[in-house]
């Protein structure tokens, strides 16, 4: 994409700011939509942003084609993760601490396995990146 490192350093703020924005809006949106509907909406929008990313990157790989769908996905992940965690912890409230630890362990384990599998994919293909993003949905 032939951009200086400072450009990547600045544009990587988009997904991070998106996640913060999604977390900030989850309180009002969960009261408005309900946590289950918000969770499902977040997953659907995250999948749609992955499709957009794949289509844009297959056409022409630009910074905006790469980072705007990632930022949208980060916003909706920030919206859908809190209701999902709350649902997981509310099943047995007496052991919420153990459930929280198990949930965190499972998230880190799946992330580690995903990184391992991502390292096995070809490094010079946009299709490999799109496949990795769809696997995470």
54: enclosing H helix or E strand: helix 35-59
pLDDT tens-digit series, residues 80-101: 989 988 888 888 999 999 999 9
End-to-end C-alpha distance for the chain, whole angstroms: 26
pLDDT lower than 70: segments of the chain:
1, 129, 132-137
Do 2 and 57 meet the contact criterion of CB atoms below 8 Å apart?
no
pLDDT at position 135 is: 66
pLDDT at position 118 is: 79
pLDDT at position 133 is: 66
Furthest-apart CA atoms within the chain: distance in Å: 54
Token pair of 17 as six digits: 């700011």
pLDDT at position 125 is: 74
Spell out the residues 6+ positions from residue 85 whose beta carbon is closer than 8 angstroms to its own: 100, 103
């Amino acid at each position: 994409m032939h951009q200086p490192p400072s450009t990547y350093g600045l544009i990587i703020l988009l997904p991070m700011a998106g996640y913060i924005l999604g977390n900030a809006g989850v309180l009002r949106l969960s009261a408005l939509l309900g946590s289950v509907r918000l969770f499902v909406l977040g997953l659907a929008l995250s999948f749609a942003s992955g499709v957009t990313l794949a289509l844009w990157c297959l056409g022409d790989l630009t910074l905006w084609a790469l980072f705007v769908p990632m930022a949208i996905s980060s916003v909706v992940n920030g919206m859908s993760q809190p209701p999902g965690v709350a649902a997981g912890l509310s099943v047995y409230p007496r052991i919420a601490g153990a459930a929280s630890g198990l949930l965190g362990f499972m998230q880190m384990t799946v992330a580690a396995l995903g990184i391992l599998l991502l390292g096995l994919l070809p490094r010079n293909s946009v299709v490999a990146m799109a496949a990795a993003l769809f696997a995470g949905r």
